[in-house]
Amino acid sequence: MFEEEEKKLEQWKKSIDQVEMPMEKLNDAVRNGFEKAKNERTLKKRIIKKRSVWSLVIAAILLISFVTSISVSPTFAKTVAAIPGMDRVVALIKQDKGLNAAVENDFYQPLNLSQEKNGITVTLDGVIADRKGIIVFYSVHSEEVDLSSLYLKYYELWSGMQPQYRVKINRTIMPLTPKKGMDFFSMYEQIDRVRLKEDLSWKVGVQYGDKIENFKIPFTYKPMDVESKDIFVNKEVTIEGQRITVKMLIVDPVRTTVILEENHKNSKKLLSSRAFDELKLVDEKGRTWSAMTGNSYKSSPEGHVWEIPLQESFYFHDPEKLTLSFGKITAMDKEEAYILIDTESEKIIKEPSESIFSNLQVKDGKASFSINSENGIYNFFKFVDADGKEFAIHYKEYGPAAYPSYYVEGRNIKISENETKFEFEIPTAPFTNPIRLDINQYPSWIEEEVEVEIK
Amino acid sequence: MGERKMVEKAIKGDEEAFLELLHCYQEALYRTAISYLKNEGDALEAVQEVTYRAYRNIKTVKEPAYFKTWLIRIMMNYCQDALKKSKREVPKDRITSMQSVSEDFTFLEVEEALGSLSDYERELLHLKYFEDVKIKDIAVMWNTPEGTIKTRLHKALRALRTSFEEKGEMKRV
């Protein structure tokens, strides 16, 4: 039927088959791609761990932080050279098809504002912003200092005299870049769910030796004026007896968020920020949009509505068909989702049947116990004493405490690959044993092959 | 070691297995890239980027038997995006050896016709005629009935024919 067309295609294939193979360069290309992915993976892992917990102080934030070294081809660099800093931005967002599309559709606003202090220059390269959030691209540059000896201490977004968003990095665990001999490094932060007003400034603290250089770069921008392409779904599914409704998808140029609601009669508790880590959407072409891990979010601990941001937005891709699947959902029996301890007798009174907690100790005004799990951080956000009095637990990494009532300091100490010690201050205010800590993270899952047709 | 075994190891995070597989398919990837992008520099960059993406997404490989096709599809996606981007760019030096292969056949003609297809159609033709993937396997991979794939393939070939014919007419004029 189509012999002639097929013949032409065959010939076309043959002619391409005859193209010479630059074998050595090809080997290098594979190796470079692999190295880049590997470097990034180790970096990203550390970042996600550090930030995988809800912050009660700034509950309504969303974080994505990608760190990558810069490698653009000379030809491509030339075409974007017209806009200062654009090459860096393009290199940074290469792996995000959503942001890529946003840039291609001219939603990137170059700013190129720099501040120099003691040989270190911080540049605010530009932003992509809509009405719901902003992505800030910035870079650090120095002719005098090797960037592997610099540490990012904090970054903040200010509106007028108020910080709207701040992330503090307490320990100097990670230099700007692990690579020696770099004089340039770019990053970006996606900041959602903050109200952005006038008089914005981007603030960054860079540590060099014992000194912290503070940079503050004021800027203005225009949010892109586009409509969301929201998809209403409202379909209920049952996974191992637990009912979950897919409410809708909020589709904006720079982010897509899946809204789910758990039935309040469910017997299981869905567990915190990692609950929907394996959720994903697949379109008719097999393109996949995965949930941003560690970012499942409920606006209040008692609520039932979840927001799951995807790693990339499909706003500009307009898939014809979309299917959602859940994968493993972290969940445990509601009745078991707490640990009851007595700080006087130093005993764990009640814990989940498959326990990972042990070794409760009280020493120097602090209580601690071991958590045996490779999954690291199991932050507890509060404890409740026998009389129902609540004490919030505050973690220094997440900025200053802003609690109305009592609070104590808590922290996680990594003992080994499979063991973490959780420690919190015993309050000076009176309280009655035993005390109860609600579990927000646990190695327990529900899983069932369920798919939801989104479109 | 069998390929399947190797892919399984790679999915589990075995870096050596991953690298070996990629080196094994780098030529196929490069050819695909050349067929879209037409010049060595861009094609090499594409191979690097696809290696990078493959490593990041290795966990999403569902069926080890389709690993190669999975790679090729990442490449095609990348190339399609790159082409869209390059519409704003100045044309680059193309590999000239491709144009003089056969006298009774114009490379440019096919290329232009392919360029007029949708991403989806081009992908389909590429898998079928370039990678020799069976319709049956495409159907499984895309989770689409075989009949539908056949219909779409015919539609793509018809579009190709139309494009050839238009070209012919223009020549006659």
- The Cα A397–Cα A381 span in angstroms is 13
Residue by residue, pLDDT tens for chain B (173 residues) are 678 888 988 888 888 889 989 998 999 999 999 888 888 888 999 999 999 989 888 888 878 888 988 899 889 988 888 887 766 544 445 554 444 444 445 667 787 788 888 888 888 888 888 888 888 888 887 778 888 888 888 888 888 888 877 765 554 43
CA-based torsion, A430, A434, A438, A439: positive or negative: positive
B84 and B117 together in one domain: no
**Is B163 contained in some domain?**
yes
The number of distinct structural domains making up chain B is: 2
Place of tokens 């609601």: A261
Residue count (chain A): 455
**A321 Cβ under 8 Å from any chain B Cβ:** no
Per the prediction, chain A carries an average pLDDT of 80
Name the token pair of A69.
């070294």
Closest CA to A158 of A215, A95, A211, A82: A215
B84 and B45 together in one domain: yes
pLDDT of res. A388:
87
Which residues in A lie closer than 8 A to residue B15 (C-beta atoms)? 34, 38
**A12 Cβ under 8 Å from any chain B Cβ:** yes
pLDDT digits (tens, 9 = 90+) for A115-125: 999 889 999 98
pLDDT of res. B140:
82
B81 and B2 together in one domain: yes
Helix (H, G, I), strand (E, B) or coil at A327: coil
B152 and B121 together in one domain: yes
Which range in A23-27, A157-161, A209-213, A426-430 is most confidently predicted, on average pLDDT? A23-27
Q: How sure is the predictor about A399, in pLDDT bands with cuts at 50, 70 and 90? A: low
Proportion of chain A above pLDDT 70, given as a percent: 84
- The Cα B32–Cα B131 span in angstroms is 9
Sheet of strand A329-333: strand arrangement: A268-270, A329-333, A445-446
Of B48, B102, B105, the CB nearest to A33: B48
B81 and B153 together in one domain: no
Tell me the nearest-neighbour CA distance from A438 into chain B, angstroms: 32
Which residues in B lie closer than 8 A to residue A40 (C-beta atoms)? 56
B3-11 and B15-37 helices, crossing angle to 10°: 100
B133 and B68 together in one domain: no
Tell me the nearest-neighbour CA distance from A259 into chain B, angstroms: 23
**Is B95 contained in some domain?**
no
* Continuous segment of H or E residues that includes residue B123: helix B119-125
Question: Final residue of a domain: which of B54, B88, B122?
Answer: B88
**Cβ–Cβ below 8 Å for B49 and A11:** no
Average pLDDT over residues A242-266: 91
B78 and B149 together in one domain: no
Q: Does the structure show a pLDDT above 90 at A437?
A: yes
Average pLDDT over residues A2-30: 85
Q: Residue B39's domain is classified under what CATH number?
A: 1.10.1740.10
Distance of CA A199 to the CA centre of its chain: 26
Residue B25 one-letter amino acid: Y
* ipTM associated with this complex: 0.85
Which residues in A lie closer than 8 A to residue B133 (C-beta atoms)? none
Please check whether residue A185 is in contact with residue A144, taking contact to mean a CB–CB distance below 8 angstroms.
no
- The Cα A66–Cα A96 span in angstroms is 10
Which residues in A lie closer than 8 A to residue B144 (C-beta atoms)? 284
B18 and B74 together in one domain: yes
For testing the chain A interface, which of B42, B51, B58 should be mutated: the one with the most A CBs within 10 Å? B51
Domain of residue B133 covers 102-173
Tell me the nearest-neighbour CA distance from A287 into chain B, angstroms: 9
B6 and B77 together in one domain: yes
B58 and B36 together in one domain: yes
Query: Between A353 and A323, where is the model more confident?
Result: A323
- The Cα A176–Cα A439 span in angstroms is 34
Q: Does the structure show a pLDDT above 80 at A257?
A: yes
Tell me the nearest-neighbour CA distance from B147 into chain A, angstroms: 16
- The Cα A381–Cα A440 span in angstroms is 8
Which residues in B lie closer than 8 A to residue A41 (C-beta atoms)? 55-56
Question: Final residue of a domain: which of B88, B117, B151?
Answer: B88
Q: How sure is the predictor about A62, in pLDDT bands with cuts at 50, 70 and 90? A: very low
Average pLDDT over residues A9-33: 86
**Is B96 contained in some domain?**
no
Summary count for chain B: helices (H), strands (E): 8, 0
Helix (H, G, I), strand (E, B) or coil at B111: helix
Please check whether residue A215 is in contact with residue A139, taking contact to mean a CB–CB distance below 8 angstroms.
no
pLDDT of res. A397:
64
For testing the chain A interface, which of B48, B143, B150 should be mutated: the one with the most A CBs within 10 Å? B48
Q: Residue B136's domain is classified under what CATH number?
A: 1.10.10.10
* 3-class SS shares of chain A: helix, strand, coil, % to 5: 15, 40, 40
**Is B150 contained in some domain?**
yes
Predicted structure pTM score: 0.55
**Is B63 contained in some domain?**
yes
Sort A8 into a burial class: Cβ within 10 Å, 0-12 / 13-18 / 19+: buried
Q: How sure is the predictor about A214, in pLDDT bands with cuts at 50, 70 and 90? A: very high
DSSP codes joined into one string, A389-450: -EEEEE-GGG-S---SS-EEEEEEEEEETTEEEEEEEPPSS---SSEEEE----S-EE----
- The Cα B45–Cα B43 span in angstroms is 5
**Cβ–Cβ below 8 Å for B88 and A79:** yes
DSSP 8-state class, residue A253:
S
**Strand-strand pairing, A407-416 and A419-425:** antiparallel
B170 and B116 together in one domain: yes
Comparing A104-108, A178-182, A233-237, A269-273, the range with the smallest average pLDDT is A178-182
Between chain A and chain B, the number of residue pairs with CB atoms below 8 A apart is 149
Q: Does the structure show a pLDDT above 50 at A51?
A: no
Please check whether residue A229 is in contact with residue A251, taking contact to mean a CB–CB distance below 8 angstroms.
yes
pLDDT of res. A189:
82
Name the token pair of A239.
């996974």
**A15 Cβ under 8 Å from any chain B Cβ:** yes
- Strand ranges (DSSP E) for A254-304? 256-262, 268-270, 280-283, 288-290, 297-298
Average pLDDT over residues A228-256: 91
**Is B6 contained in some domain?**
yes
pLDDT digits (tens, 9 = 90+) for A158-180: 887 777 777 766 554 567 777 77
pLDDT digits (tens, 9 = 90+) for A68-107: 333 344 444 454 556 666 777 777 777 777 777 777 777 8
- The Cα A272–Cα A295 span in angstroms is 9
Average pLDDT over residues A22-27: 88
- The Cα B39–Cα B35 span in angstroms is 9
Which residues in A lie closer than 8 A to residue B85 (C-beta atoms)? 104
Which residues in A lie closer than 8 A to residue B89 (C-beta atoms)? 75-76, 79
Degrees to nearest 5, angle at CA A254 with A248 and A258 = 20
Helix (H, G, I), strand (E, B) or coil at A261: strand
**Is B93 contained in some domain?**
no
For testing the chain B interface, which of A1, A2, A18, A19 should be mutated: the one with the most B CBs within 10 Å? A19
Question: Final residue of a domain: which of B23, B53, B88?
Answer: B88
Please check whether residue A360 is in contact with residue A341, taking contact to mean a CB–CB distance below 8 angstroms.
yes
**A286 Cβ under 8 Å from any chain B Cβ:** yes
For testing the chain A interface, which of B29, B52, B100 should be mutated: the one with the most A CBs within 10 Å? B52
**Is B97 contained in some domain?**
no
Query: Between A292 and A437, where is the model more confident?
Result: A437
B64 and B29 together in one domain: yes
